[in-house]
């Protein structure tokens, strides 16, 4: 990726519906080379797709929680089982393997506190190998950039 590709990606992260003509003008390319670059970024997996940015509360997901998960064992069966089960739970919108006291950090989105309790009791508690669950609830979001910073 060169600087021109990074410009294209940065714009598309926040303006995914921009026309190729507008995009080409903004990055100082003619339309055909700009479109070729976009297609190459898509084909190589740099651009994985396009979507709408949705207001979670307006959509009915009024509660976001970050959940620290610690496993009791780290053998292949426990780790694979955990990751497989988490992968099919809709309320888990992100799952990251992390360093520190926790093994995983989840971002969970649900309607309200009652829905979160149901999620913990009936989804997380059913997963073998979890030894601790720590929930951190989001009061409000101070920043949601929508675009990644340029790499150094």
pLDDT tens sequence across 57-91: 999 999 999 999 999 999 999 999 999 999 999 99
Same domain, yes or no: 24 and 60: no
The CATH number covering residue 12 comes to 1.10.10.10
Cβ(117)–Cβ(46) below 8 Å: no
What are the distances in angstroms from CA 145 to CA 50, 56, 110, 141?
A: 16, 15, 22, 11
> Domain for residue 147, yes or no?
no
Domain membership of residue 50 (yes or no) is: no
Based on the domain organization, do 62 and 130 belong to the same domain?
yes
Query: pTM higher than 0.85 for the full model?
Result: yes
Structural domain contains residue 142:
no
CA–CA separation, 152 vs 149, rounded Å?
9
Per-residue pLDDT tens over the stretch 18-39 = 999 999 999 999 999 999 999 9
For a pLDDT cut of 90, what percent of the chain falls above it?
Answer: 92
Let me know if residue 151 belongs to a domain.
no
Structural domain boundaries enclosing 26:
3-43
Q: Which residues pair with 30 in a beta bridge?
A: none
Dihedrals phi, psi of 113, to nearest 5 degrees: -65, -35
Same domain, 27 and 60: no
């Amino acid at each position: 990726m060169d600087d021109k590709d990074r410009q294209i990606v940065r714009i598309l992260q926040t303006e995914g519906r921009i026309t190729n003509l507008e995009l080409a003008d903004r990055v100082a390319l003619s339309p055909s080379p700009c479109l070729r670059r976009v297609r190459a970024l898509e084909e190589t997996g740099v651009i994985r797709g396009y979507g709408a940015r949705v207001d979670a509360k307006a959509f009915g997901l009024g509660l976001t929680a970050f959940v620290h998960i610690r496993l009791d064992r780290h053998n292949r069966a426990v780790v694979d089982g955990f990751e497989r089960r988490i992968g099919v739970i809709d309320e888990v919108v992100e799952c990251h393997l992390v360093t520190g006291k926790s093994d995983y950090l989840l971002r969970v989105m649900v309607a309200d506190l009652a829905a979160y309790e149901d999620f913990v009791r009936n989804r997380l508690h059913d997963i073998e190998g979890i030894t601790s669950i720590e929930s951190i609830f989001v009061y409000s979001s101070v920043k949601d950039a929508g675009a990644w910073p340029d790499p150094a």
